[in-house]
């Protein structure tokens, strides 16, 4: 079981780095799908079958299809891309390093808060309990997420529309 965990972790890290380092946006999206599948394998190893299925359906399915359609609609070509000035590249590297430093400091300073776990007796793996929690306690954020996805899809389509020039 530990060997499978290390294999899935290596696949996850490898495909995540390939997602970032790939120059082709389509290849990058495919590497991200593979990364999502390996993360879903981790959920299955932790005996969270519901999270495994939801992760496959939502992330590997819907979100990645939406991203692929957006990439294909925008028709990102390297020939159309302008070179960025050296000053903006340096600013991006400095901003990345500052954010990485803050995250690293946060992870180093963080301590586990829970010293002992309390068992409530309620099975949170149950779809019935999860549905009640999502649609009662978290109804507004759940709906905000769906509206956000819809607006981003409409924005991608509008950005990709080409203007026709009448002569």
Confidence tier at 165 by pLDDT (50, 70, 90): low
Q: 26 Cβ partners below 8 Å, 6+ apart? A: 68, 71, 72
Q: In this model, does residue 80 exceed pLDDT 80? A: no
Q: Which domains occur in the chain, in start order?
A: 2-108+123-160 (1.20.120.1200)
CB 1 within 8 A of CB 45: yes
Q: In this model, does residue 67 exceed pLDDT 80? A: no
pLDDT tens, position by position, 6-25: 999 999 999 999 999 988 87
């Amino acid at each position: 079981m530990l060997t499978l965990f290390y294999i899935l972790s290596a696949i996850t890290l490898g495909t995540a780095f390939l997602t970032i380092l790939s120059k082709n946006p389509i290849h990058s999206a495919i590497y991200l799908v593979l990364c999502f599948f390996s993360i879903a394998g981790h959920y299955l190893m932790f005996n969270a079958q519901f999270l495994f299925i939801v992760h496959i359906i939502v992330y590997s399915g819907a979100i990645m299809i939406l991203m692929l359609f957006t990439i294909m609609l925008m028709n990102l070509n390297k020939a159309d891309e302008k070179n960025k000035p050296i000053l903006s590249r340096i600013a991006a590297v400095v901003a990345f390093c500052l954010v990485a430093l803050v995250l690293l400091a946060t992870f180093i300073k963080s301590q586990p808060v829970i010293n002992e776990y309390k068992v409530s007796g309620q099975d949170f793996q149950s779809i019935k309990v999860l549905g009640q929690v999502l649609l009662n306690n978290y109804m507004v954020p759940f709906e905000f997420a769906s509206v956000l996805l819809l607006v981003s899809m409409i924005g991608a389509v509008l950005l990709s529309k080409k203007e026709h020039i009448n002569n």
